[in-house]
């Protein structure tokens, strides 16, 4: 066991260093290029009269931190939902989280006139939590409780219903549609310090829930009967996992919009290194996802200068081929 843990620990340290490098790269690269020295100077010796320092502190640092938070949340939520449902193709949106967040964002824009990202955070999170609660409540009906199949079916039904309502609202209000489409594509642009501050408590709570569920996920991966024989309370374990997914994915969706494929592909990449043990899979996913998100955001800034390609588009271009590969594999096993 110790022989196995040493290389995995070293891998985590390497990933942490890579995320730190991606953070510096994200802050330095943009329409206005900044040297690493300028970035470090702005972070540790801030001068409010220096325009470069203002760019770092007011624009790029909050955007980068939003990317880190959203990435951690998406990576962990993807690993948890795949483990809890024993479905390697499960996505955090499986519980209707994205659809619920989208509906509440539309309501916030259309009914309350919310135009700031800070406002979207609260509406998006409330919508995600409400949808996740409905899905879990519906799937928990009956003797068997919230089984993976019932979770998937309830999530698909609720997602379809919420998407229909959202589309109906958008078709009747062109102004709301114009504002919503910029959020819907998935982006880190315009995120400020207030948005990051509001999201931190939710992401931290979700991370703690996910890490606590690691042993339960390992037991659930062996099947419900085996999990019970190991002393696990299966309904409680599924509830904790579902709550972690709702909090994490809801926070990420509220911060950056519904970014596709990160929660699906990152756990598979992490699993190639860690195997099925969620005690290692979860930390690896929590580091790989922000690395992917930050690098994708930087690529989006570079490829279409002086304009930008939103990060949700870049991650979709990266993740779609991986998703096709996973679907076409002859042997896809749940872990």
For residue 15, being part of any structural domain is answered with yes
Angle, helices 97-112 vs 148-171, to 10°: value is: 20
pLDDT at 309: 86
* Sign, CA torsion 116/119/124/127: negative
* Sign, CA torsion 20/26/29/32: negative
For residue 334, being part of any structural domain is answered with no
Calpha distance 67→94 (Å, rounded): 22
The share of the chain scoring above pLDDT 70, in percent, equals 92
For residue 191, being part of any structural domain is answered with yes
For 247-262, the pLDDT digits (tens) are 898 888 878 888 878 9
- Is the pLDDT reported for residue 227 higher than 80? no
Tokens of 24: 């510096």
**Is the link from the previous residue into 306 a cis peptide, with omega within 30 of 0?**
yes
For residue 257, being part of any structural domain is answered with yes
Number of domains in the chain: 1
For residue 137, being part of any structural domain is answered with yes
Q: Which region among 150-154, 180-184, 210-214 has the lowest average model confidence (pLDDT)?
A: 180-184
For residue 134, being part of any structural domain is answered with yes
pLDDT at 21: 94
In order, the DSSP letters of 179-195 are HHHHHHT---TT--HHH
- Is the pLDDT reported for residue 196 higher than 90? no
For residue 67, being part of any structural domain is answered with yes
- Residue 58 DSSP code: I
For residue 333, being part of any structural domain is answered with no
Residue written as tokens 């709550």? 243
Q: Strand, helix or coil at 116? A: coil
Pair 95, 242: CB distance under 8 Å: yes
Q: Where do the H-state alpha helices sit in the chain?
A: 2-28, 36-44, 51-54, 61-85, 97-112, 117-139, 148-171, 174-184, 193-212, 214-220, 224-229, 234-256, 262-274, 278-302, 311-328
Q: What is the mean pLDDT of residues 17-44?
A: 87
pLDDT at 332: 45
Vertex 264 angle, CA 289 and 85, to 5° = 120
How far is residue 18 from each of residues 44, 148, 272, measured CA to CA in Å? 21, 35, 18
Q: What is the mean pLDDT of residues 282-287?
A: 95
Pair 291, 167: CB distance under 8 Å: no
How far is residue 292 from each of residues 63, 133, 302, measured CA to CA in Å? 15, 29, 15
Q: What is the pTM of this model?
A: 0.87
Residue written as tokens 């509220």? 254
Q: What is the CATH number of the domain that holds 221?
A: 1.10.3470.10
Domain ranges, residue 200? 2-328
User: What confidence tier does 145 reach under pLDDT thresholds 50, 70, 90?
Assistant: low
Q: What is the mean pLDDT of residues 226-242?
A: 82
160 compared with 143, residue with greater pLDDT: 160
For 119-135, the pLDDT digits (tens) are 767 787 788 888 888 88
């Amino acid at each position: 066991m110790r022989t196995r843990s040493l290389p995995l620990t070293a891998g985590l340290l390497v990933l942490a260093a890579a995320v730190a490098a991606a953070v510096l790269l994200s802050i330095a690269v943009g329409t206005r290029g900044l040297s690493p020295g300028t970035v470090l100077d702005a972070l540790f010796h801030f001068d409010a009269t220096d325009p470069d320092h203002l760019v770092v502190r007011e624009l790029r640092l909050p955007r980068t931190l939003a990317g880190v938070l959203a990435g951690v949340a998406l990576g962990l939520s993807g690993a948890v939902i795949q483990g809890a449902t024993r479905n390697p193709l499960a996505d955090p949106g499986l519980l209707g989280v994205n659809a619920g967040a989208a509906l509440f964002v539309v309501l916030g824009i259309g009914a309350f006139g919310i135009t700031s990202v800070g406002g979207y955070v609260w509406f998006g999170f409330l919508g995600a939590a409400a949808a996740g609660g409905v899905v879990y409540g519906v799937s928990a009906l009956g003797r068997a409780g919230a089984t993976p199949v019932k979770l998937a079916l309830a999530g698909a039904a609720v997602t379809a219903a919420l998407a229909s309502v959202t589309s109906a609202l958008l078709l009747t209000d062109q102004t709301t549609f114009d504002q919503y489409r910029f959020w819907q594509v998935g982006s880190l642009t315009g995120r400020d310090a207030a948005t990051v501050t509001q999201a931190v408590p939710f992401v931290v709570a979700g991370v703690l829930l996910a890490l606590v569920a690691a042993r339960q996920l390992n037991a659930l991966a062996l099947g419900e009967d085996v999990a019970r024989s190991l002393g696990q309370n299966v309904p409680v374990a599924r509830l904790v996992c579902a709550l972690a997914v709702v909090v994490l994915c809801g926070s990420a969706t509220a911060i950056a919009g519904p970014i596709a494929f990160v929660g699906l592909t990152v756990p598979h990449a992490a699993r190639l290194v860690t195997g099925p043990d969620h005690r290692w899979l979860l930390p690896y996913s929590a580091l790989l996802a922000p690395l992917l998100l930050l690098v994708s955001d930087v690529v989006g800034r570079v490829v279409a200068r002086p304009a930008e390609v939103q990060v949700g588009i870049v991650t979709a271009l990266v993740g779609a081929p991986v998703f096709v590969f996973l679907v076409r594999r002859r042997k896809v096993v749940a872990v």
